[in-house]
Amino acid sequence: MPGVLSDALAWAVILTFVVGVFSRRRNERAARYLTVAAWVGFAVFWLQLVPHFAFVHKSYVEGILAVIAVPASLYVGYLLFDGRDSLYVLSRAVAAMGVIYLPFETIPAFTLLGIAVPAPRGVLMETVAAQTGFLVNAFGYHPELIVGDQGYLNTFLFFDGDHRLTVEVVLACTGLGSIAIFAGLISAVKAPLRRKLRAMAIAVPIIYALNLLRTTFITIAFGKQYMQWFVDEILFLFGASDPYMVSFFISDRIISQLLAVVVLVGITYLVVRELPELLTIIEDVLFVVTGDEYDLESELGLNRPGV
């Protein structure tokens, strides 16, 4: 996220979601207004991220998704205000996603009773970097793992001749975002704990393992400059001028991000087979996107208990 104000906005929105969805049993009217307000705040949150994804991060996929998320969030808020109560399940999911993700994004290192407590993001990034390094070495490449700009041991150093190339494992490279999404979805529905745990056991290991393969692929492709294809066209497409970045743009911003969408759809299918209650959320999302009602339970041949 871009900075302190963005982090503060994220926490404000997520806490509004939490208060809204968990106050429903006590005060339906207040819960509805709070949850609708949370969706409006969610739209504002994504709106302020659009420039970051599009111009700083230079990610077309994330930039487009952020743009789409703005009207989609406003529309969900409108539908919930208009009485589509099934959207409380999606609201619970967003609340859970935020509670899982934001501590890693926002909590800094601190000292408590003389004991130094590291930043959660740093621990996670260094862990993923170490595991990525193991795989990179297994493929026969041996870059040096050094301390990066954020002060963590999360950066691989390559050389192309005399030119220095660094690949940094940041929070977005850890798979945490995707894990938080599935954990939020799974926790939001009403289902036996045993089936929820089985669904988590499907989603989390697959996401984590495939993410390690992704970071390994990007590290090698960029560090060894293996994808210097259509240099002028790629630089123009991403508004960049450094030709050494072409392999990164192709391996990460194009190949990896597009494959990630396909993979997440596949994981969703596997998880839904174990936890059909998630169909309520998926049907609501499809309704928001298309305006049509869907009966995925019949189409997929699943039996969905109440949510």
Which residues have a Cβ under 8 Å from the Cβ of 15 and sit 6 or more positions away?
none
Partners of 163 in the β-ladder: 160
The pLDDT score that the predictor gives to residue 205 is: 97
Q: What is the mean pLDDT of residues 252-272?
A: 94
Catalytic residue numbers read 173, 214
pTM of the model: 0.92
The DSSP call for residue 3 is -
Q: Give the tens place of pLDDT for each residue, 1-19.
A: 467 889 999 999 999 999 9
Q: Give the tens place of pLDDT for each residue, 235-251.
A: 999 989 999 999 999 99
What is the percentage of the chain residues whose pLDDT exceeds 70? 99
Lowest-confidence region among 2-11, 21-30, 142-151: 2-11
The model's confidence at residue 60, banded by pLDDT at 50, 70 and 90, is confident
CA angle 86, 90, 96 (to 5 degrees): 140
CB-count burial class (<10 Å; 0-12, 13-18, 19+) for 169: buried
Q: Give the tens place of pLDDT for each residue, 225-238.
A: 999 999 999 999 99
The pLDDT score that the predictor gives to residue 186 is: 97
The pLDDT score that the predictor gives to residue 118 is: 94
Spatial separation of the C-alpha atoms in residues 33 and 52, rounded to whole Å: 30
| Residue 154 scores a pLDDT above 60 | yes
| Residue 298 scores a pLDDT above 90 | no
Q: Give the tens place of pLDDT for each residue, 88-101.
A: 999 999 999 999 99
